[in-house]
Chain A
Amino acid sequence: MLTFTVRRLLYGIVLLFVIVTLAYLLLYAAAGNVGRTILGPTATQATVALKNQQLGLNSPLISRYFSWLGHALTGNFGSSWFTNQPVTTAIITRLQVTLILVLGAVIVSAVASAALGVWAALRGGWVDRVIQVFSVLGFAIPGFLIALFLVRIFALGLHWFKPTGYVPITYYFGGWIRTVTLPIIALSIALVAGIAQQVRSSVIDSLRQDWVRTLRSRGISERSVLFKHVLRNAGGPALSVLALSFVGLLGGAVIIEQIFGIPGLGQIAVLATSQGDVPLVMGLVVAIGVIVIVVNLVVDLLQGFLNPKARIS
Chain B
Amino acid sequence: MSEAAVSSGALAPDISSDIRAARSHLARRFLKNTLGIAALAVLVLIVLAAIFAPLLTSYDPNAVSVLNILQGPGAGHLLGTDGAGRDVWARLLFGARFTLAGALLATVVAAVLGITSGLVAGYYGKWFESVSSWVTTLLMALPGIVVLLAARAVLGPSLWSVMIIFGVLLAPAFYRLVYAAVSGVRNELFVDAARVSGVSDFRIIARHILTVVRAPIILQASIVFGIAIAVQVGLDFLGFGDQTIPTWGNILNDGFTNLYRDPQLVIWPGLAIVITGVALTLFANALRDELEHSARPSRRRRAAVATAAAEPVPPVSNTIVHDEPDTATEAPLLHIEGLAVGYPQPDGSVTRVVDNVSLNIGRGEVHGLIGESGSGKTQTAWSVLRLLPSGGEVLEGSIQFDGEDLSKVPSAKMQDIRGGRIAYIPQEPMSNLDPSFTIGSQLTEPMRIKLGVSKAEARARALQLLGQVGIPNPERTFASYPHELSGGMAQRVLIAGAVSCEPDLVIADEPTTALDVTIQAEILDLLRDLQQELGVTILIVTHNFGVVADLCDQVSVMQKGRIVETGPARSLFANPQHPYTRSLFDAILDESPARGPYAEVLPR
Contact = CB atoms under 8 A, between A and B. Distances in A.
Interface of A: 15, 18-19, 23, 26-27, 30, 136-137, 139-145, 148, 190-191, 194, 198, 209-211, 213-222, 224, 229, 232-233, 237, 240-241, 244-252, 254-255, 258, 269-270, 273-276, 281, 284-285, 288-289, 292-293, 296, 306-309
Interface stretch (B98-106, B278-286, B528-536, B579-587): B278-286
A215 B497 CA distance: 10
Interface string B477-508: 00001010000000000100100010000000
A252 B436 CA distance: 34
Interface of B: 1-5, 7-10, 137-138, 140-146, 149-150, 152-154, 226, 230, 233-234, 237-238, 240, 256, 266, 270, 273-274, 277-278, 280-282, 285, 385, 387, 415-420, 423-424, 426, 428, 431-438, 445-446, 449-450, 481, 483, 494, 497, 501
Nearest to B292: A201
Contact of B419 (A19, A198, A218, A255): A218
A194 B418 CA distance: 38
A148 B266 contact: yes
24 contacts: A15-B137, A139-B1, A144-B234, A148-B256, A148-B266, A190-B4, A194-B4, A210-B431, A211-B433, A213-B432, A214-B424, A214-B432, A219-B450, A229-B434, A241-B10, A245-B8, A247-B143, A251-B145, A254-B143, A270-B149, A276-B153, A288-B146, A292-B141, A308-B435
Contact of B138 (A18, A30, A281): A18
A145 B233 CA distance: 10
The 5 lowest CB-CB distance pairs between A and B, nearest first, are: A248-B4, A219-B419, A245-B4, A140-B277, A217-B424
A26 B431 CA distance: 53
A144 B154 CA distance: 25
A286 to B, nearest CB: 12
B483 A308 contact: yes
B551 to A, nearest CB: 21
A307 B436 CA distance: 6
Nearest to A238: B10
Contacts of A210: 426, 428, 431-432
A216 B419 CA distance: 8
Contacts of A292: 141, 143
Contacts of B449: 219-221
A251 B143 contact: yes
B149 A274 contact: yes
Contacts of A269: 145-146, 149
Contacts of A215: 434
Contact of B436 (A229, A241, A251, A285): A229
A218 B277 CA distance: 48
A164 to B, nearest CB: 13
A255 B5 contact: no
A216 B387 contact: yes
Given A216-B387, A309-B481, A248 B142 contact: no
